[in-house]
Amino acid sequence: MKALLGPVGIVLKYASLFVASAVAVLPLVVIGMAAFKPTQEFATSAPLSPPESWAYLGNFVTAFTRGGMLQGFVNTSIILVVSLVGTVIIGTMAAYALDRFDFRGKKLVVALFLVATLVPGVTTQVATFQIINSLGLFNTRGAAIVLFMGTDIVAIYIFWQFMQSIPRSLDEAAMLDGANRLSIFARIIFPLLKPAIATVVIIKGIAIYNEFYIPFLYMPKQDLAVISTSLFRFQGPFGAQWEVIAAGTVLVILPTLAAFLFLQRFIYSGLTQGATK
């Protein structure tokens, strides 16, 4: 699009963009600088001055070993992989049933999924807690896994939308060749859903990596800490050691930054699809 702004307008436009970028980046840069300062230097230097040396990694070592972040990354990875596999299988199966079949009760099922999007998960945790407890899942990774798998309606919508673009003639041709529904789903539909699966894996993966409430509430045991809850616990033992907290924070943000740099395009389009369901 051609810009129709005068010179003053152009200056103002770029000025506003630079200010916004600075506001977005500055808090992160400052905490990044703190992470490289040894205790002594941190105590004496101003927050806005860069560290004397960018080679001091002591804070990262302390955060990683004494802060239990290794455990956190392991637990997050396990939960991430299992929940993502589960979400993809469950979501594609539900979308397949809803898109390719007409059956009694279909309207009811669709309505159940639709209405559920209106229930904010955070409001029902008090009662969900009792269910997790009675299933014997409290203080197990299973608690986070079933909750991540069971509540992702957006994923089902993304699969459903995408499936509508896969021609039904493919199903019919396979059916004439004697394939049953399960093998049509597994051999024809599922492989064609790859782009939608990539979208769901990326968007949901970031959401699981960032989730704080569910692991905090359902997995308080120390060695079940995920990345969010282990970082949350930094506030106690390292309360006065901001340079170590800063290093832990940087360690948590780095994987997100890497994911963003490599997957930008997918993230933008995935969010747009998820929101306009």
- Kindly state the smallest distance separating residue 58's Cβ from other proteins, in Å: 18
User: 65 or 264: whose CB is closer to other proteins?
Assistant: 264
What values do phi and psi take at 261, rounded to 5?
-65, -35
Beta carbon of residue 230, minimum distance to other proteins (angstroms, whole number): 9
* Nearest in space to 185 (alpha carbons), one of 88, 100, 83, 85: 100
Residue (173 or 253) nearer to other proteins, CB: 253
Q: How far is CA 241 from the centre of its chain?
A: 29
- By CB neighbour count within 10 A (0-12 exposed, 13-18 middle, 19+ buried), where does 194 fall? exposed
Beta carbon nearer to other proteins, 61 or 257? 257
C-alpha 205/C-alpha 100 separation (Å) is: 28
Q: Least distance (Å) from other proteins to the CB of residue 17?
A: 5
**3-class secondary structure for 43-70?**
HHCCCCCCCCCCCCCHHHHHHHHHCCHH
Q: Return the CA Rg of the chain.
A: 24
State in angstroms the smallest separation of the CB of 65 from other proteins.
Answer: 19
User: Nearest distance from residue 43's CB to other proteins, in Å?
Assistant: 11
Nearer to other proteins, 25 or 70 (CB): 25
